[in-house]
Amino acid sequence: MLLSLASLATSCTEKERSSLLQFAAELSQDGGLTNSWENSTDCCRWEGITCSSDSRTVTDVFLASKSLQGHISASLGNLTGLVCLNLSHNSLYGDLPMELLSSKSIVILDVSFNLLNGDLQELEKSTLRPLQVLNISSNFFTGHFPSPTWKAMKSLIALNASNNSFIGQIPTVFCVSAPSFAVLELSYNQFSGRIPQELGNCSMLTSLNAGHNNLSGTLPDELFSITSMEHLSLHDNQLEGTLSGISRLKNLATLNLGGNMFSGNIPSAISELKKLVTIHLDHNSMSGELPSTLSNCTSLITIDFSSNNFSGGLTKVNFSNLPNLKTIDLMLNNFSGTIPESIYSCTNLTALRLSSNKFQGPLSERIGNLKSLAFLSLVDNSLTNITSALQTLSSCRNLTTLLIGKNFKNEAMPKDDAIDGFRNLRVLFLNDCSLSGKIPLWLSKLTNLEMLLLYNNELTGSIPDWINSLNFLFHINMYNNSLTGNFQQP
């Protein structure tokens, strides 16, 4: 629709036409752009160019994913009516011309996913800039954020500088200078030090992502005063302390604090986060039982508490109150007892990982209710009755990955006529169970199987010929059994 507006313009000015041709001339590879533009003298009709409907002014330059290579020409700064400039997903290199950042017309500037480098230079402090959205992510920018530059950006709403090599402390100057500032994306850089208290001045902030940096210390109390926050992601840093203040962020939908050094338990006030959809607290040092109040976060879709020191049973949490859950990951903790029956009420579950805990006993027949389940890992627990478990799980028709090794110790491998189903299974781990018996014929029905692990069992007999009929099987491990025979060459 925007491109069709170009046809309404009579003709662009010679100045703007020259500026665009200068931009193309300074490219080392233009992806055929120059040839395309030379077909018309009116730049308002050129590919990627949009002009205003009532004048001859270029308002939009959209040249994303055009295989452009070379420098970005400062001549684009001469387009005095330019509102939106998108040069993302190309192979542009060199500096980002200051003429673009200092433009008196550009509102949206996107140069993400290029090869740009160098420092961001200072701008004149006195002139206000209309820039609202700046995306410089996935480049090779370095150095600190120049504070005086951002003081001139009083209209800034969103800044994405992720996936670069910026250093120093997280910039906060726009928290004061830009009253409507809402989105700050700084992940995958080299920012260090503590999270500055001044972030609390970003009272309109809805999204903060500073994952994969070198941040340390505790979360400042001022951070929890940003009640507009909807997405908070600080994963893979060296942050520590507890989460005692997190419940004050009542609008939070995404909480990702995985890969840090947080300790203590999950506060019972987590129930205040009624809008929480995704929570990642994985790979920390948190402990204690999961609070029953987690059941009150009824919008949850993803729970990841893996690789912590959580303990106790899960019966306090009523998973029946979380009907939207699709992923539960509690791997590598110290949970004990039986798998709670309420989990089997989460009929939208597609992935369930409870491996490396202390769950025991047989699997409930109700696990067969999880008709959407595609991934199940129960490795390294103390589960019993493998025949009943496989019979029940065979009704989960969407299962593609089933990892149940290091369970069912010293039981017998289910016999040929005991199991039917698993038509979509691609990965099956039955390793380290000390299972006795032979390789069963029912495995031959798993025609989509790609990986099969049967090592560290007590299986006997010969390797069956039908193994070669599993056309998708590319990895099989039967090490440390008492099997005879060889695999036939296809």
> Residue 241: which region, alpha, beta or left (left: phi > 0; alpha: psi -120 to 50)?
left
Burial class (CB in 10 A: 0-12, 13-18, 19+), 331: buried
Distance CA 85, CA 362 (A): 60
CA 311 to chain centroid: 27
Could you identify the residue written with the tokens 């390797």? 463
Q: pTM, whole model, 2 decimals?
A: 0.92
The pLDDT assigned to 53 comes to 82
Residues composing the chain: 490
pLDDT band at 208 (very low <50, low <70, confident <90, very high): very high
Does residue 125 carry a pLDDT above 50?
yes
The pLDDT assigned to 426 comes to 98
Determine the 3-state secondary structure of 144 from DSSP.
Answer: coil
pLDDT band at 8 (very low <50, low <70, confident <90, very high): very low
pLDDT tens column, 332-353 = 999 999 999 999 999 999 999 9
Structure tokens at 280: 């990642």
Q: Say if domain 385-490 classifies as CATH 3.80.10.10.
A: yes
- Using CA atoms, how far residue 178 sits from 84, 175, 205, in Å, is 20, 6, 11
Contacting residues for 120 by C-beta, under 8 A, at least 6 apart: 96, 101, 141, 143, 145, 146, 149
Percent of the chain at pLDDT above 90?
83
- Identical fold for domains 1-118 and 385-490, yes or no, is yes
Does residue 133 carry a pLDDT above 80?
yes
The backbone torsions φ and ψ at residue 452, rounded to the nearest 5 degrees and listed phi first, read: -140, 120
Nearest to 356 by CA among 330, 374, 393: 330
Could you identify the residue written with the tokens 């769950």? 359
Distance CA 316, CA 314 (A): 5
- The DSSP result for 146-189, as a single string, is -HHHHHT-TT--EEE--SSEEEESPP-THHHH-TT--EEE--SS
Determine the 3-state secondary structure of 60 from DSSP.
Answer: strand
Does residue 1 carry a pLDDT above 50?
no
The pLDDT assigned to 7 comes to 45
Distance CA 446, CA 74 (A): 61
Q: Burial letters for 37-71: b for 16+ Cβ neighbours within 10 Å, e otherwise?
A: beeeebbbbbbbbbbbeeebbbbbbbbeebebbbe
Q: Report the chain's mean pLDDT, rounded to a whole number.
A: 93
Nearest to 439 by CA among 422, 455, 423: 455
Asked whether the beta carbons of 252 and 228 are under 8 A apart, the reply is: no
Does residue 223 carry a pLDDT above 70?
yes
pLDDT tens column, 234-268 = 999 999 999 999 999 999 999 999 999 999 999 99
CA 127 to chain centroid: 38
Q: Which secondary structure element, helix H or strand E, spans residue 92, and what is its range?
A: strand 91-94
pLDDT band at 490 (very low <50, low <70, confident <90, very high): low
The pLDDT assigned to 11 comes to 76
Structure tokens at 432: 């380290």
The pLDDT assigned to 120 comes to 84
The pLDDT assigned to 79 comes to 95
CATH of domain 1-118: 3.80.10.10
Determine the 3-state secondary structure of 394 from DSSP.
Answer: coil
Does residue 298 carry a pLDDT above 60?
yes
Structure tokens at 243: 């989460």
Average pLDDT of span 349-363: 97
Paired residues of 91 in beta bridges: 69
The pLDDT assigned to 129 comes to 84
- Using CA atoms, how far residue 374 sits from 39, 130, 337, 401, in Å, is 53, 48, 24, 6
Domain ranges of the chain: 1-118, 385-490
| Out of 127-131, 146-150, 171-175, 454-458, least confident range | 146-150
First CA to last CA across the chain, in angstroms? 57
Distance CA 331, CA 145 (A): 39
- Using CA atoms, how far residue 354 sits from 81, 306, 365, 378, in Å, is 57, 9, 17, 5
The pLDDT assigned to 153 comes to 87
